[in-house]
Amino acid sequence: MQTLIGFPALIDQTDSVSIEVFDEPGVAAQKHQAGLRRLVALQIKDALKYLEKNIPDLQKMGIAYLPLGTSEELKTQILDLAIDKAFLTEPLPTTAPEFKARVAEGRGRLTLICNEVARLASGILTEYQTALRKIKDSKNAPDATADCTAQLQRLMPRKFLSTTPYVRLQHFARYPESHHPAPRQIPAPTRPATRCA
């Protein structure tokens, strides 16, 4: 008798979800997160329609995002991350009653979280634009420019909101100047006292 081990996951089918079984638990978990997100989105269609039209500064962010992709892609990432934070924190719901309760809990905080995610994305994209300008202005150092460009591409992939853990995203955006620690004052070196005989 042969025993097969599989890992079931909900699969996002755009207008519905289905169940598939995977060999790898990591792949199943990733697919299941997207499937659960779609299941939530299907339950809150009206709220999502409102948010799609009311994401703060989306047009401005879309312009900053142009080197990476379209404004529509950015909007999708913002909404997906907001759904994850509002409804899909660990532990994920595993039964119908748990899912129903999670949807009810998340509705009240979705708009606030979406605005928070949008502000975070705006801060990151502002810093991204600043970095791009500085790299462009550094034409007299081609090796350093190439290195900085490669590093920036690694930091800011096309789906940076979807692929970067939220805790790390929070470090991408610069804090307001008032939140920066004051520069340390380094005391001037003192000369040892000399004695005159």
Distance in angstroms (rounded) separating the CA atoms of residues 66 and 61:
9
Q: Are residues 81 and 120 in the same domain?
A: yes
Q: Is 57 left (phi over 0), alpha (psi -120 to 50) or beta?
A: left
CA-closest candidate to residue 80, choices 168, 158, 159, 153: 159
Token pair in block for residue 88: 């899909």
Q: Is residue 107 part of a domain?
A: yes
- Are 54 and 22 in the same domain? no
pLDDT at 174 (0 to 100): 55
Count of structural domains, the chain = 2
Do residue 164 and residue 135 come from a single domain? yes
**What pLDDT shows up at residue 83?**
97
| pLDDT at site 124 | 95
Q: Which two tokens stand for residue 53?
A: 């039209």
Say yes or no: 71 and 36 in one domain. no
Domain for residue 146, yes or no?
Answer: yes
Whole-number Å distance between alpha carbons of 39 and 178? 42
pLDDT of residue 93: 95
Q: What was the pLDDT predicted at 190? A: 43
Q: Mapping DSSP to helix (H, G, I), strand (E, B) and coil, where does residue 50 land?
A: helix
Answer yes or no: do 60 and 73 share one domain.
yes
Question: Do 27 and 92 fall within a single domain?
Answer: no
Strand, coil or helix: 10: strand
**Has residue 182 been placed in a domain?**
no
Same domain, 67 and 132: yes
Q: Which of 48, 38, 39, 32 is nearest to 107 (CA)?
A: 48
Domain co-membership, 37 together with 132: no
Note whether 38 and 52 are same-domain residues: no
Query: Reduced to 3 states, what is the DSSP secondary structure of residue 7?
Result: strand
Is 178 a member of any domain?
no
Q: What is the pLDDT along the chain (197 residues), one digit of tens a residue?
A: 778 789 999 999 999 999 999 999 999 999 999 999 999 999 999 999 999 999 999 999 999 999 999 999 999 999 999 999 999 999 999 999 999 999 999 999 999 999 999 999 999 999 999 999 998 888 788 888 889 999 999 999 999 999 999 888 888 765 444 343 443 443 444 444 444 44
Strands (E), the chain: 7-12, 17-22
Range(s) of the domain holding residue 2: 1-43
Whether residue 48 sits in one domain with residue 127: yes
Q: How many CB atoms lie within 10 A of CB 75?
A: 19
